[in-house]
């Protein structure tokens, strides 16, 4: 299959040229084989996509979410994290079946594709069903079975995580990868984290974990173990693996240095952290220390959407006002966090996250023919500060067009909506 996209503005996110005008991209099977500017013969291609009045960029990478929590959208709003989790979310999650998880993930995938996300990192349970949804829809995902090291499911979580990796890692045409997913230091004791560290090392996969999300978490960990959550991860040996640390809201300077030294990645979730009043992560300080900071939405029950374009804008604006400095997190940096930084955070930076020959063709096409994109003094700034999810016209993942002219080609949206409504009605009746 040979595909040509031409006459477009291209933001390659390669750290060099910010915009290629009148650009073209040649895709053969799943790989970008040529890029450039100017006219190109359109003959000999199986598919030609006209890019006039459009901008092409790498697909967004959502580095932290719980996809099937779409089923809990709006269920437990306006509560602090501890109460939200323990009194509302966890009891409701106990009622979810594996089939529910499948349809909740399908609903999430619709929302993600339609807002330009081509890859997501998921931490949840019933991960076989999540993997099946990813495989069917053509999405790319890094999957982790959420592991709680206290309670009756601690050992089963380890077994499930090993089986998930053995069954699904690098499957689905290579679109599915896995990590181990210990939930957090406050739900996984040090000896459990040490076991996870060893298992991940033996399996050759990374670790996806919540870290320093709230002041209460940090206070409790320091009181119990005499050290911060980040220092606890160091002592358990977790950092011998690639670590994707979600949230990282309450880090000391020593914690930041520790993450940088161990080349851990941070998944910044500004909207979820704002909604749960968890705080503002020290993103400028992390970036200055050389930490790879990417973006995530968190689950829909604490956001309440999966819109990475909105998350990107919130990130840029939040840190400007927090630092009282309009130069903090400029538009291009925010776009880096949503694309290339995200790919690197998932260990996929050699294959996706930017547009260049040899990279896998994961890209989105944004329609600029809207009032909020006119005039166009700076297309990158328009995308970050003016862009809307509905601007995403076409989505290509692994060289395959999965959405064209806003219509998803790999699933039946109405069937997914009907199933999600049916599950929500059942959950409401069971309360």
202-232 pLDDT tens trace: 999 999 999 999 999 999 999 999 999 999 9
Ramachandran class of 60: left when φ > 0, alpha when ψ lies in -120 to 50, beta otherwise: beta
pLDDT of residue 86: 86
Residue 224: which CATH number? 3.20.20.140
Residue 56's SS3 state is: strand
Does pTM top 0.85 for this prediction? Answer: yes
Asked if 72 and 88 sit in the same domain, the reply is yes
Asked if 78 and 37 sit in the same domain, the reply is no
pLDDT of residue 352: 98
Phi, psi values for residue 215, rounded to 5°: -65, -40
* pLDDT, tens digit, 9 for 90 and up, residues 75-116: 888 888 788 888 888 888 899 999 999 999 999 999 999 999
Could you write out the DSSP letters of every residue in 144-193? EEEE-SSSTTHHHHHHHHHHHHHHHTTBTTTTEEEEEEE--TTTS-HHHH
Among residues 67, 19, 65, 20, the alpha carbon closest in space to that of 335 is found at 19
Asked if 301 and 380 sit in the same domain, the reply is no
Asked if 252 and 383 sit in the same domain, the reply is no
Asked if 306 and 390 sit in the same domain, the reply is no
- Cα separations (Å) of 64 from 1, 217, 227, 257, 394? 32, 19, 25, 22, 23
Asked if 66 and 7 sit in the same domain, the reply is no
Share of the chain above pLDDT 90, in %: 92
Residue 28: which CATH number? 2.30.40.10
Asked if 329 and 241 sit in the same domain, the reply is yes
- Cα separations (Å) of 120 from 66, 156, 297, 349? 9, 25, 10, 14
Q: Is residue 166 part of a domain?
A: yes
* pLDDT, tens digit, 9 for 90 and up, residues 289-339: 999 999 999 999 999 999 999 999 999 999 999 999 999 999 999 999 999
Residue 167 domain boundaries? 60-345
Contacts of 423 by beta carbon, 8 Å cutoff, 6+ apart: 71, 100, 103, 104
* pLDDT, tens digit, 9 for 90 and up, residues 187-206: 999 999 999 999 999 999 99
* pLDDT, tens digit, 9 for 90 and up, residues 27-49: 999 999 999 999 999 999 999 99
Q: Is residue 177 part of a domain?
A: yes
Asked if 377 and 285 sit in the same domain, the reply is no
Q: Is residue 337 part of a domain?
A: yes
Residues in the chain: 431
Identify the domain boundary among 296, 325, 345: 345
Asked if 308 and 381 sit in the same domain, the reply is no
Asked if 37 and 183 sit in the same domain, the reply is no
Counting the structural domains of the chain, the total is: 2
Asked if 243 and 255 sit in the same domain, the reply is yes
């Amino acid at each position: 299959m040979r595909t040509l996209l031409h006459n477009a503005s291209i933001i390659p996110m390669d750290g060099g040229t910010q915009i290629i005008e009148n650009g073209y991209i040649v895709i053969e099977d799943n790989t970008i084989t040529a890029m450039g500017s100017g006219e190109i013969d359109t003959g000999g291609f199986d598919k030609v996509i006209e890019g006039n009045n459009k901008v092409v960029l790498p697909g967004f990478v959502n580095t932290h979410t719980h996809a099937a929590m779409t089923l809990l959208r709006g269920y437990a709003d306006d509560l602090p994290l501890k109460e939200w989790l323990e009194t509302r979310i966890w009891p409701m999650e106990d009622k979810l079946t594996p089939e529910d998880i499948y349809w909740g993930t399908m609903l999430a995938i619709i929302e993600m594709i339609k807002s330009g996300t081509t890859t997501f990192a998921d931490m949840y349970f019933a991960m076989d069903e999540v993997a099946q949804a990813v495989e069917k829809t053509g999405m790319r995902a890094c999957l982790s079975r959420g592991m709680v090291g206290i309670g009756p499911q601690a050992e089963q979580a380890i077994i499930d995580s090993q089986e998930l990796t053995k069954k699904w890692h690098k499957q689905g045409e290579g679109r599915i990868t896995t990590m181990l997913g210990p939930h957090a230091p406050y739900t996984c004791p040090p000896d459990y984290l040490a076991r996870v560290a060893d298992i991940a090392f033996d399996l050759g996969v990374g670790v996806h974990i919540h870290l320093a999300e709230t002041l209460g978490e940090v206070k409790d960990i320091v009181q119990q173990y005499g050290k911060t959550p980040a220092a606890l991860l160091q002592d358990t040996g977790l950092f011998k693996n690639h670590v994707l640390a979600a949230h990282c809201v309450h880090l000391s300077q020593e914690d930041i240095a520790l993450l940088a030294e161990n080349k851990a990645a941070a998944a910044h979730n500004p909207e979820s952290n704002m909604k749960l009043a968890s705080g503002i992560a020290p993103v400028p300080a992390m970036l200055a220390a050389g930490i790879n900071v990417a973006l995530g939405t968190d689950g829909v029950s604490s956001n309440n959407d999966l819109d990475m374009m909105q998350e990107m804008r919130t990130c840029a604006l939040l840190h400007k006002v927090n630092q009282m400095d309009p130069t903090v997190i400029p538009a291009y940096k925010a776009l880096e966090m949503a694309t290339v930084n995200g790919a690197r955070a998932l260990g996929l930076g050699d294959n996706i996250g930017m547009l260049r020959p040899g990279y896998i063709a994961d890209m989105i096409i944004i329609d600029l023919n809207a009032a909020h994109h006119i005039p166009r003094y700076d297309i990158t700034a328009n995308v970050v500060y003016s862009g809307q999810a509905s601007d995403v016209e076409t989505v290509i993942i692994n060289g395959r067009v999965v959405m064209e002219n806003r219509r998803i080609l790999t699933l039946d949206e109405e069937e997914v909506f009907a199933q999600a409504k049916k599950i929500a009605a059942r959950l409401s009746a069971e309360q």
